[in-house]
Structure 1
Amino acid sequence: MRLKRHRIGIAGVIFLVFVTVSSSLVLGAQAHDRTSFSASDRFVIPELNGSVQFAYNGSYSSAMLENNAWVFNDLMINTTRLLGNLKVSVKDSDITIFSFYSSGNISVNRQSVRYNAQGAGSQVFDLGAEGVTHHSEWWVTVSVPSTIFLAQGREWHLSPDNIVTVNEQTGNISVAHYNFNAQSYSSLPFIERHSVLIVTLAVVAVAAIAASVVSVKVRSKTHGSN
């Protein structure tokens, strides 16, 4: 019995060592496959008189200039977590990116980028939003110094392939998209799509009726005592 337990213990230790070594090798390979950048690095777009910088150090698996747009794959900015793929083009402007995030999972489709623009040119972003989106799911703001929502169709534009273009803005700008899988809910019956609203209204109605009943009883008791 002791020998059996001893063998099980040895097997467990060997398994843990194997997992640790394998994880280290994988992480090491991933680290070698990545390229680091610093906050002082500039990614220039010569033909458009534009450039892209990051406010913090980071890394990517690949970065290339394609059709006057920088494409960063598996981007990390001041973190060890993958933030997604970013495609950005800048014309007559220099931008510094503070933050970026892109998630296209089943339940939540969320993307955002926050940056500072010097030079009132244009900035074009492909944040990796999937499927068909509507401009009501997006918002673009600028801080000057208070936050102002920019007008869609005039100060920014959303193309059918989910590319956002910001026009003639300087300062701190945010582009964000947030959608709780709206398309999947649009095919549901009216009652299911608005079930939360219906339940809320029902609760409010019941509470109002209960309050009126209590009020009537209190008044009846008051008159009875008089």
Structure 2
Amino acid sequence: MQLGQLIVCFYITCILFVVVVLGSIAKATGFSIFKFIRYIREELLIVLGTSSSESALPRMLDKMEKLGCRKSVVGLVIPTGYSFNLDGTSIYLTMAAVFIAQATNSHMDIFHQITLLVVLLLSSKGAAGVTGSGFIVLAATISAVGHLPVAGLALILGIDRFMSEARALTNLVGNGVATIVVAKWVKELDSQQLDDVLNNRTPVNKSHELSS
């Protein structure tokens, strides 16, 4: 029952992060997060089936160029984001660590909580965008920090596969939004093309010709 609640809470947190946080960033940048999700729906289905955000890397590179982002920006931000912009993995690491602490009745004062949070945020930057990488990072962090029993990892091992899907989907959307934001920040974004493609006013193949 508690494992089911953890899965539900994790999925709800990821959805709220995408809709509220990424949605606000997208709105401030000048596009709709829902239209963007619709635009990359095929890539999201690939990630959902493989539980790995890297499986959609080639298609995302192409899609973001067609959306109006300069190729040089896409080639830098997307691959870098797979190691340094793993939003879903960061959410997973935090919630999983708190769950293990509560399940094993491990007392953690505020200093231990802050230490664990900082180490988790740092260690997540070296995670690969492949299936199960988040669990490996969590195991390495818990064993390194030492505040939580490593045996507690067995509690969430069985449900990691289900949580991996939400991690990968959140990572993919986050990397896509980050690419558009960076492209606009460095003035390498065709805002008109972005608006036309997301609103289905320009065929994708035609927009690709314009960008090249």
Give the alignment's TM-score, normalised by structure 2.
Answer: 0.22
Instruction: Work out which of the two has the higher radius of gyration on C-alpha atoms and give 1 or 2.
Output: 1
Looking at secondary structure, tell me which structure has more helix per residue: 2
Looking at secondary structure, tell me which structure has more strand per residue: 1
